[in-house]
Amino acid sequence: MSNKYNGWTNYETWNFNLWITNNEGDYRHALQLTKDSINKYELSEDLNEWAMDMAYDSLKRDTHGFINDIISTSIKEVNFYEVAEHLWDEAHDGEEE
């Protein structure tokens, strides 16, 4: 059974991409990460770190174990490389790496 969601690897990947590309400040930050990265892999690592930073900020406000587990589990499911490919291709307009 496939867990694909709206053409993405899964719901978590689609949702992460949705939020970082539909908020102007986050989108600008994502594009800056793309510009500063040397390749898609590095960008995927930067996106993962950014997501972890956002989660950490949320977790500082809510220390309930269940919420911490849900956030941590969801982040682990995100295919950051897939999001990186999408951002990279958009920012580089199909250029070769």
Q: Which amino acid is at 8?
A: W
Q: Do the domain assignments include residue 17?
A: no
Q: What pTM was estimated for this model as a whole?
A: 0.85
40-77 residue pLDDT tens: 999 999 999 999 998 887 777 666 778 788 888 899 99
Does 97 score more than 50 pLDDT?
A: no
Q: Which domain holds residue 77?
A: 39-97
In a domain, 67, yes or no: yes
Q: Is 96 left (phi over 0), alpha (psi -120 to 50) or beta?
A: beta
Q: Contact 83/46 with Cβ under 8 angstroms?
A: no
26: in domain: no
Q: Is residue 56 part of a domain?
A: yes
Cα–Cα distance, 69 to 81 (Å, whole number) = 23
Q: For 4-47, write each residue's pLDDT tens digit.
A: 999 999 999 999 999 999 999 999 999 999 999 999 999 999 99
Domain count, the chain: 1
- Residue 1, domain member (yes or no): no
Q: Judge whether 21 lies within some domain.
A: no
Gap between the Cα atoms of 22 and 29, Å rounded: 12
pLDDT-above-90 percentage for the chain: 67
71 found inside a domain: yes
